[in-house]
Chains A and B, each alone.
Chain A
Amino acid sequence: DAGVIQSPRHEVTEMGQEVTLRCKPISGHNSLFWYRQTMMRGLELLIYFNNNVPIDDSGMPEDRFSAKMPNASFSTLKIQPSEPRDSAVYFCASSLTGGGRETQYFGPGTRLLVL
């Protein structure tokens, strides 16, 4: 299996621009998670989906952030407009929930820099 795939790996943009991060989960997994990692706040969950349905988006910082999962093999995290404080590494993870198989597998991350 190719593992969780994220694109782009690096993104540099200017304040005010729209940023779209993409994730392809492991085939057969039914849960998908978006995390953000910063020096100040560490790793924090932004949103997670189960069977393509958003279950908990309480970690989404504000309305500038939105996430979608149109099908089982693709998800996007969009920031519009972006701000310098959004600079972070964004990780996508997937898992097969139920029956003690709750291990989350992480992608390599997207390193975002907003100037």
Chain B
Amino acid sequence: AQSVTQLDSQVPVFEEAPVELRCNYSSSVSVYLFWYVQYPNQGLQLLLKYLSGSTLDKGINGFEAEFNKSQTSFHLRKPSVHISDTAEYFCAVSEVQGAQKLVFGQGTRLTINP
């Protein structure tokens, strides 16, 4: 079974500052890794994914995430945030082989202050 831990439930940041949202996972098998974003009262939108290859994956809206296999982490970063980045961010994993279901972390609420 897999589990995902998002270490911060809330992250307040000033506009144009850098941000890192932390995600650690646990799995006995190889996994795919995902970050989804949920804007208020909306569904989840894929931000980026890691399937294989490079450890640094670039997504939409200037976000990027770094996969670290030894630390079983997949932290999300953005060098300069905007007010429009205010949302909830979810880290998720799914098995490479077998079940395709996503296991989500509890989410991190990112609040951008002017």
Contacts and interface: CB of A to CB of B under 8 A. Distances in A.
B43 A91 contact: yes
A102 B32 contact: yes
A54 interface: no
Interface residues of A, number: 25
Contacts of A44: 104
Contacts of B104: 42-44
B99 A55 contact: yes
B73 interface: no
B29 interface: no
Interface string B32-68: 1010100000111110010110000000000000000
A45 B102 contact: yes
Interface string B70-101: 00000000000000000000100010000111
B52 A108 contact: no
Nearest to B94: A102
Question: 6 shortest A-B CB distances, which residue pairs?
Answer: A43-B104, A106-B44, A106-B43, A108-B43, A45-B101, A42-B106
16 contacts: A31-B100, A42-B104, A42-B107, A43-B90, A43-B107, A48-B100, A48-B101, A56-B101, A91-B43, A93-B44, A95-B100, A102-B51, A104-B46, A104-B100, A106-B45, A109-B42
Interface of A: 4, 31, 33, 35, 42-45, 48, 50, 55-56, 91, 93, 95, 97, 100, 102-109
Interface of B: 32, 34, 36, 42-46, 49, 51-52, 90, 94, 99-107
